[in-house]
Amino acid sequence: MEAALSVENLRAYYLTRYFGVVREVRAVDDISLEVKRNEIYGLAGESSSGKTTFIKTIAAAIRPPLKVVSGSVKYSFLDRDIYGLSPKALSAVRWKHLSYITQGSMNVLNPIRRVRQSFIDFALRHTRLSKRDFFDTVESHLARMQLEPTVLSAYPHELSGGMRQRVAIALATICRPEFIIADEPTTALDVVVQKSVLRMIREAQQQLGSSMIFVTHDLTVHANIADRLGIMYAGRLVEEAPTTEIFHNPMHPYAAHLVASLPRIGDLRPRKALSGAPPNLADPPSGCRFHPRCPLAMDICRRVHPALTTLAANHRVACYAASPLVKPSAELASELAASPDREPIKLPQ
């Protein structure tokens, strides 16, 4: 089956220069993944693991000091890399083919205009409909999402947080995009509302047959929505597997810790905490970036980072301890030097 999104060896760094000292923050470091058609791909990781940078990169929302150093991002609806597009071509793609659900829906909806205006601003030009036909479509779309058409006449502040997030989802799906990026869409919501918003996202995705990348740090949310799950740590993908597989058979020690440490109602066994702190991406540990906190760290872990290796069907892990099949990845430096298509790094002046 053709992938809806395929990312290959993506590296995106923040490059800054203060008083002549160049500082490089490797926020996304050599990530390869595929999102299949009609699939929700969950991306988990704590703060500063590079989740948001990854999203910015695949949405082609790249502003200095962020810089894509190498790699490619290909969508099924585009015949080439998304970076190859002119701003004009990009704006034709956005919302029509690629849309976005953010954490704070207040930031999406214009606070001083009615919701109706946001629909016009975002979607009207992509539909090529007259205004009247457009709002017929919008109303039937809202009805499918179990929203009253009266929300169109409301101002964003008049709606509750959950309602606003539903409107933002309706707005993101009105053009029936092939691909949806959801960045922590339920984090700001209360527990009671969270579940209904998740259900709505799932239903919208199934009706449209879209593919989705769903990013959150909350593993319990992933358990409820993602088909496959990728775990990020310090800018790298360390494990990827179908969601059930991650929860029952996590192979990377970091993933195993995350799953084991979640408290559950009805279970009082003491939970162990992970020692140490998340690494500083401006000065990451050598080799496997998890090794200073890893209970299984070996000598090789300190030297070369392990390649993300397919161990079982759909299960990729980057940890030497998981299996002897995991081999060191080619040394980063030599690999970078060998890749001919790498652009020279230009620093923002």
- Please say which residue, 292 or 328, places its beta carbon nearer to other proteins: 292
Q: Is the dihedral of CA 86, 90, 92, 97 positive or negative?
A: positive
CB 32 within 8 A of CB 8: yes
At its nearest, how many Å lie between other proteins and the CB of residue 47? 6
At its nearest, how many Å lie between other proteins and the CB of residue 154? 19
In sequence order, what are the beta bridge partners of 13?
26, 67
At its nearest, how many Å lie between other proteins and the CB of residue 241? 11
At its nearest, how many Å lie between other proteins and the CB of residue 202? 4
Q: Is the peptide bond before 65 cis (omega within 30 degrees of 0)?
A: yes
Our measurement of the distance from residue 192's CA atom to the centroid of its chain's CA atoms, rounded to an integer in Å, reads: 24
In sequence order, what are the beta bridge partners of 67?
13
At its nearest, how many Å lie between other proteins and the CB of residue 211? 14
- Please say which residue, 154 or 193, places its beta carbon nearer to other proteins: 193
At its nearest, how many Å lie between other proteins and the CB of residue 31? 20
- Please say which residue, 58 or 219, places its beta carbon nearer to other proteins: 219
Calpha distance 41→108 (Å, rounded): 23
At its nearest, how many Å lie between other proteins and the CB of residue 212? 12
In the chain, the largest separation of any two C-alpha atoms, in whole Å, equals: 67
Helices (H), strands (E): how many in the chain?
12, 11
- Structure token digits, residue 40: 């929700």
At its nearest, how many Å lie between other proteins and the CB of residue 162? 11
Q: Compute the half-sphere exposure of residue 195: CA atoms within 13 Å on the CB side of its CA.
A: 2
Alpha helical stretches, state H, the chain: 51-58, 87-93, 115-119, 125-127, 131-144, 161-173, 191-208, 219-225, 243-248, 253-261, 299-303, 332-338
- Please say which residue, 94 or 222, places its beta carbon nearer to other proteins: 222
- Please say which residue, 107 or 261, places its beta carbon nearer to other proteins: 261
- Please say which residue, 69 or 219, places its beta carbon nearer to other proteins: 219
At its nearest, how many Å lie between other proteins and the CB of residue 17? 20
Site for other proteins, rule CB under 8 A = 40, 46-47, 190-192, 194-196, 198-199, 202-203, 206, 217-225, 227, 243-244, 246-247, 254, 257-259, 261-266, 268, 270-274, 277-278, 293
Residue type, 190: D
- Please say which residue, 220 or 310, places its beta carbon nearer to other proteins: 220
- Please say which residue, 193 or 304, places its beta carbon nearer to other proteins: 193
- Residue for token digits 């020692």? 275
Nearest CA to 57 out of 92, 8, 113 is that of 8
Render 223-236 in DSSP notation, one character per residue: HHH-SEEEEEETTE
- Please say which residue, 124 or 198, places its beta carbon nearer to other proteins: 198
- Residue for token digits 């009615």? 114
Calpha distance 201→216 (Å, rounded): 14
Nearest CA to 222 out of 232, 214, 210 is that of 214
